[in-house]
Amino acid sequence: MTDSHTLDWQPVTAPAHTILEGRYVNLEPLDAKRHGDDLWLVLQGPDSDPLLWDYLPYGPFAERPPFDAWLAANQASSDPQFYAVIDRQKRRTVGLLSFLRITPKDGVIEIGHIAFSRTMQRSPASTEAVFLLADYAMSTLGYRRLEWKCNARNARSMRAAERLGFRFEGTFRQHMVIKGENRDTAWFSILDSEWPRCRAAFQRWLAAENFDKQGQQVGRLEDMRGA
């Protein structure tokens, strides 16, 4: 753990593109061929979330070939580094997300490019998918700053960031141009000094005893963190 006065910081390593296992989901390095059919169905099929692509810099995809090309490019990329989300019970791919802006020399890393199926949203699966990446970066690799950024008009993403324990830092005005529109970008972060409390809350929330027989949460993540 570091603080703002520490001067003996040593660079960390970049994340290995490896399988991360959880209770509800596993994260696997994205494979366009192996995961493509499932992802096409859950992200573009008739039961997909119609709002999914609104604030992403790509999509929606009307046809399969451009979608496959997009997945192949994501698979080949090391930054962003993409992971497919695998539902452990159903054994199918239900979403994807990535590390990005990976900066080992400063110990800074971001989680983004989140595209979760409708069934993942507001579920233990979505929370655990983010937790698995966050815990790998912060607990295993020793990063000192974990970032989350989104369009400042994306209320769903901003609510999710705060629920997950990210602290709002401010808005970069006219930060980007996305799909021909101005984007103000909201910045959030979790620091290494804040991570132990966030991690403990994630673990308590994801535990089996925190869900009733209908799969509804007993306690809220925010309350477990003391936020």
* Residue 87, both tokens: 């539902």
Residue 169's alpha-carbon distances to 85, 98, 208, in angstroms, are 28, 21, 33
Look up the CATH number of the domain holding residue 212.
3.40.630.30
Q: Is residue 12 part of a domain?
A: no
Average confidence score pLDDT of the chain: 95
In whole angstroms, give the CA distance from residue 160 to residue 148: 10
* Interval 216-227 mean pLDDT: 89
Specify if 4 maps to a domain: no
Stated pTM of the model: 0.94
Q: What is the mean pLDDT of residues 113-132?
A: 94
Q: Is the pLDDT of residue 41 over 90?
A: yes
With respect to residue 178, please indicate whether it lies within any of the assigned structural domains: yes
Query: Quick one: which of 146, 188, 191 has its CA closest to 171?
Result: 188
Share of the chain above pLDDT 90, in %: 91
Report which of 181, 215, 220, 214 is spatially closest to residue 201, judged by C-alpha positions.
220
Host domain of residue 44:
20-225
217: β partners: 211
Does 143 fall in a domain? yes
Vertex 137: Cα angle to 133 and 143 (nearest 5): 150
Q: What is the number of structural domains in the chain?
A: 1
Residue 10 covered by a domain? no
Is residue 9 in a domain?
Answer: no
Identify the pLDDT of residue 213.
87
Could you tell me which residues come within 8 angstroms of residue 124 by beta carbon, excluding any fewer than 6 positions away? Answer: 23, 24, 206, 211, 215
For the CA atoms of 174, 175, 178, 182, the dihedral, rounded to the nearest 10 degrees, stands at 0
Residue 58 lies in a domain: yes
Report the distance separating Cα 227 and Cα 215, nearest Å.
23
Give the tens place of pLDDT for each residue, 59-110: 999 999 999 999 999 999 999 999 999 999 999 999 999 999 999 999 999 9
**187 within a domain of the structure (yes/no):** yes
Q: Taking residues 197-203, what's their average pLDDT?
A: 97
